[in-house]
Chain A
Amino acid sequence: AQSVSQHNHHVILSEAASLELGCNYSYGGTVNLFWYVQYPGQHLQLLLKYFSGDPLVKGIKGFEAEFIKSKFSFNLRKPSVQWSDTAEYFCAVKSPPYSSASKIIFGSGTRLSIRP
């Protein structure tokens, strides 16, 4: 069965530090990949997505993620975090892609706390 692993459950950083959150998935076929974010008291919302093409995708608020097919990874990065990035981050995988019948499986989430 497909699964998504986020190894960091809670990450604490100071403002201006660089961020990398790990995401690995297990699925042998083609997938679509997503990062969602849930700010305190808000809905889950899309941060960025990868469907095809350039494996380095850029999202909102300066976030980017790189799809490395050989490593089944889709790590999220940001060069310099801000206090407002405090949130919970979820990696997700959709398979099969380009189908009206597909599962979108989420990782367990990483809570990011930024010290001002």
Chain B
Amino acid sequence: DSGVTQTPKHLITATGQRVTLRCSPRSGDLSVYWYQQSLDQGLQFLIQYYNGEERAKGNILERFSAQQFPDLHSELNLSSLELGDSALYFCASSVGGGTTNEKLFFGSGTQLSVL
């Protein structure tokens, strides 16, 4: 068990809908990363938060947004869903702050299926 909790584990929805994926980081970790994993794209970095603030952005679509709350849990909101958004969405947490001990702890992912 990595200590990172993602809910829900599976999500099936229709095109055009909006969903929210939730991530609770390991206790004490301030940094949260979101990744999208699909068969043809590999593990794509979406966005990173550190202690409630957005700190780095990757290939995140405008239809997607995220936030990190004061209790450090994070949510990834996906709207106007398209078939191509079907993927496994991972959250990872780390101590953050650029320490030499930094390493990512991954959740088990949310499998999103858009029909």
For A101, the chain B residues whose CB sits under 8 A away are 48, 50, 55-56
A108-B42 CB under 8 A given contacts A43-B106, A49-B103, A100-B31? yes
Contacting pair B42 A106 (CB below 8 A): yes
Contacting pair A100 B106 (CB below 8 A): no
- Whether B11 is near chain A, meaning CB under 8 Å from some CB there, is no
CA distance A51 to B30 in the complex (A): 20
Q: How far is the CB of A82 from chain B (nearest CB, A)?
A: 23
User: What mask results when residues 79 to 101 of chain B are scored 1 for a CB within 8 Å of chain A, else 0?
Assistant: 00000000000101000111110
Q: In the complex, how many residue pairs between chain A and chain B have their CB atoms under 8 Å apart?
A: 68
Interface residue tally of chain A, by bracket? Answer: 20 to 34
- Whether B108 is near chain A, meaning CB under 8 Å from some CB there, is yes
Interface residue tally of chain B, by bracket? Answer: 20 to 34
For B92, the chain A residues whose CB sits under 8 A away are 44
Q: What is A's interface to B at a CB cutoff of 8 Å? A: 32, 34, 36, 43-46, 49, 51-52, 90, 94, 97-109
Q: What is B's interface to A at a CB cutoff of 8 Å? A: 2, 4, 30-31, 33, 35, 41-45, 48, 50-51, 55-56, 58, 90, 92, 96-100, 102-108
24 A/B residue pairs, CB under 8 Å, sorted by A:
A32-B102, A36-B104, A36-B106, A43-B4, A43-B107, A44-B104, A45-B105, A51-B100, A90-B43, A97-B98, A99-B98, A100-B30, A100-B50, A100-B51, A100-B97, A101-B50, A101-B56, A102-B48, A102-B98, A103-B56, A104-B45, A104-B104, A105-B45, A106-B35
